[in-house]
Chain A
Amino acid sequence: METIFKRPEALAAAPTHYCPGCTHGIVHRMIAECLDELGLRERAVGIAPVGCSVLAYNYFNFDFQQASHGRAPAVATGIKRGRPEMIVFTYQGDGDLASIGMAEIVHAANRGEKFTVVFINNAIYGMTGGQMAPTTMPGQVTTTSPFGRDVAQVGYPVRMCELLAALKTQGFIERVAVHSPKYIIRAKKALKKAFQYQADNKCFSFVECLSTCPTNWGMTPLAALDWLEKNMVPYYPVQNFKDLVEQGGGDAD
């Protein structure tokens, strides 16, 4: 009988701890598929963050390091500079990458570190129980913004792709979403391109995945997918921001 669907070799045969309806599993699977399809699994090193995906090292079937909060790009820099033949990626949430780890991600991108960043933006801190993130939407209720995010007090959500694309250094920067098959197909293409560029030793690559958190958003999984489409996609454009060019937004060159 022909096998038409199976677990990728790069994905471990392990049950995850993720909540029902969480989109981490979709992104995990796509990463594993990309590494399998590109034949990179045996050279791969993933970096797990602090956050819901802290245990990601249990869910993949290749080498992993667990990083302190926000420092995954520095850890990846150490691995990639020390062993350039490795295929290195960080897997980071929005609190990890866009709050406590802002310095590390910006400087890794600006140095053009030749590793891949998979950025999960679900507009909230998941593991600690639904606090406001730097990417929380204006007016969004969280456990630390009970009256909704007040942009007069805490500013607007950070658009990481746009921020990093403003750097002059060459890179691949794309925002994708994982709330419907149409978007997921595009997301897979972006992830594969990111890993291909790394395998070709081309440039820093960054893929932001708009994701859901039904538990901390207080919604059913289906309602969460709909909320992402209606609230996040208009604010966080799903598009490519940079593809290899050495140019930043507002660059006069």
Chain B
Amino acid sequence: MAKVLMKGNEAIAEAAVRAGGLCYFCYPITPQSEVAEYLSRRMPEVGGTFLQGESEVAVSNMLYGAAGAGVRAWSTSSSPGISLMMEALSYIAASELPTVVVNIVRTGPGLGGILPSQGDYLQAVKGGGHGDYRCLVYAPSSVQEAVELMPLAFDRADRYRNPVIVLGDGMIGQMMEPVEFREHEFPPLPPKDWATDGCKGRKPNIVNSLYLDPVKEEELNQRLAAKYERMKQNEVMYEEYMTDRPYEVLLVAYGTTARVCKTAIKKLAEDRIGAALLRPITLFPFPSARLYELAKPVKFLMSVEMSCGQMVEDVELGVRCEKPVYFYGRQGGLVPTPEEVVDQVKKRLGKGA
């Protein structure tokens, strides 16, 4: 299929439809409302389900119900709305149901603003809702990559029976870029023999997260923990940039800021400063092992983010605190410029701006 020019939010919507995400619940919030608007037109064409709920609280519980009934259900929202969904995501993780939630992150805390941010990193990566659970988290850095990650997100949600978060930002959602929708092939999925789709010919299925017996609750906790370990073994994704030549600085950035870092690295090269980039594509699981390898030749690492440094602790853990980890970021909806990143790297190298 030829490339088409699409806004990120609409491309994400179309990619989900093509991946069989035909049951979509939503509540309007800037900067992701175009997903809902697109699907309100598109779902009737493909015989899918579109419903605008009364709140993100309700929407996330609709996901729980539909996912529990064995339907490929998903939603999109932005930061304050995602906070409202956290209770249900905890139930969904505990009940081992598959769902995909796209967060087109805006600034915060509180009502914040509608501009791009990466301030929901910790919420997405460390659990977010109550209790002992994790979500698989993908962070696209272009509209094309968002389109590629949507079918993967649905597949992995089904395969692990776990919520998957696609963590975009206002830039990814609002930007127009050329995209190509490709066919994606995955191995067959196990049957959803746990779903509440009618008990004809079998014992009743129960979708539940209540465990009053501490031994049973611990069994669930340990089963979930083992699942997250399997994710760490099998699902880590990342991109390396300029790691195939000498470098003394390793930048670590995901999503929009990774693209800024690539330009900065080119500029540094012009000044004969070798810098490279590790771009995590999965934020959970984090590419810690590769980070450790890539950090061996460097003087320091720098985490570049549109937050106050939420990813720094994962970078420090990845490098086992053996090298200095510096941070540079902008907040409030401001995006770091390549020049700012260049200046920061030079300053830390003692080469002055």
Asked if residues A78 and B62 are in contact (CB atoms below 8 Å), the reply is yes
- A65-B208, A66-B208, A104-B54 given; 14 more Cβ-contact pairs under 8 Å: A48-B208, A62-B199, A63-B197, A63-B198, A63-B204, A66-B95, A66-B207, A66-B210, A68-B88, A71-B57, A77-B65, A79-B65, A81-B66, A86-B69
Task: Report A's interface with B, CB cutoff 8 A.
Answer: 41-45, 47-48, 54-55, 57, 60-68, 71, 74-79, 81-83, 85-86, 103-104, 107
Residues of B within 8 A of A42 (CB): 198-200
* Contact A57 B206, CB 8 Å, known A71-B58, A77-B62, A83-B69: yes
B61 within 8 A of A: yes
State how many angstroms separate the Cβ of B41 from the closest Cβ of chain A: 18
State how many angstroms separate the Cβ of A163 from the closest Cβ of chain B: 15
Asked if residues B204 and A75 are in contact (CB atoms below 8 Å), the reply is no
State how many angstroms separate the Cβ of B169 from the closest Cβ of chain A: 28
**B interface residues, how many (CB within 8 angstroms):** 38
Quick one: which of B49-108 are within 8 Å of A by CB?
Answer: 49, 51, 53-55, 57-59, 61-71, 73, 87-88, 91, 95
Asked if residues B208 and A78 are in contact (CB atoms below 8 Å), the reply is no
Asked if residues A78 and B73 are in contact (CB atoms below 8 Å), the reply is yes
Asked if residues B207 and A78 are in contact (CB atoms below 8 Å), the reply is no
Asked if residues A107 and B58 are in contact (CB atoms below 8 Å), the reply is yes
Asked if residues A82 and B53 are in contact (CB atoms below 8 Å), the reply is no
Return the 5 tightest CB-CB contacts between A and B, nearest first.
A78-B65, A82-B71, A78-B62, A82-B66, A74-B61
Residues of B within 8 A of A104 (CB): 54, 57-58, 61
State how many angstroms separate the Cβ of A23 from the closest Cβ of chain B: 23
Asked if residues B198 and A78 are in contact (CB atoms below 8 Å), the reply is no
Residues of A within 8 A of B199 (CB): 41-42, 44, 61-63
Task: Report B's interface with A, CB cutoff 8 A.
Answer: 23, 25, 49, 51, 53-55, 57-59, 61-71, 73, 87-88, 91, 95, 196-200, 204-210
CA distance A76 to B205 in the complex (A): 16
CA distance A41 to B204 in the complex (A): 10
CA distance A83 to B65 in the complex (A): 10
20 A-B residue pairings within 8 Å (CB atoms):
A45-B69, A57-B208, A63-B204, A64-B206, A65-B64, A65-B196, A67-B64, A68-B91, A74-B53, A74-B61, A75-B62, A78-B23, A78-B25, A78-B65, A78-B73, A79-B69, A79-B196, A82-B66, A82-B73, A103-B55
Closest to B54 in A: A107
Residues of A within 8 A of B91 (CB): 68
CA distance A76 to B198 in the complex (A): 14
Asked if residues A63 and B196 are in contact (CB atoms below 8 Å), the reply is yes
CA distance A67 to B65 in the complex (A): 8
Most buried by B among A60, A61, A81: A81
Which of B53, B71, B204 makes the CB contact (< 8 A) with A62? Answer: B204
Asked if residues B198 and A43 are in contact (CB atoms below 8 Å), the reply is yes
State how many angstroms separate the Cβ of B224 from the closest Cβ of chain A: 17
* Contact A65 B65, CB 8 Å, known A43-B198, A86-B198, A107-B54: yes
Residues of A within 8 A of B53 (CB): 74, 77, 107
CA distance A28 to B196 in the complex (A): 19
Closest to A76 in B: B65
CA distance A150 to B53 in the complex (A): 35
Closest to B64 in A: A75
CA distance A47 to B197 in the complex (A): 13
Asked if residues B61 and A68 are in contact (CB atoms below 8 Å), the reply is yes
Asked if residues A83 and B206 are in contact (CB atoms below 8 Å), the reply is no
Which of A43, A48, A74 makes the CB contact (< 8 A) with B57? Answer: A74
CA distance A42 to B209 in the complex (A): 23
Closest to B59 in A: A74
State how many angstroms separate the Cβ of A93 from the closest Cβ of chain B: 15
CA distance A43 to B196 in the complex (A): 9
Closest to A61 in B: B204
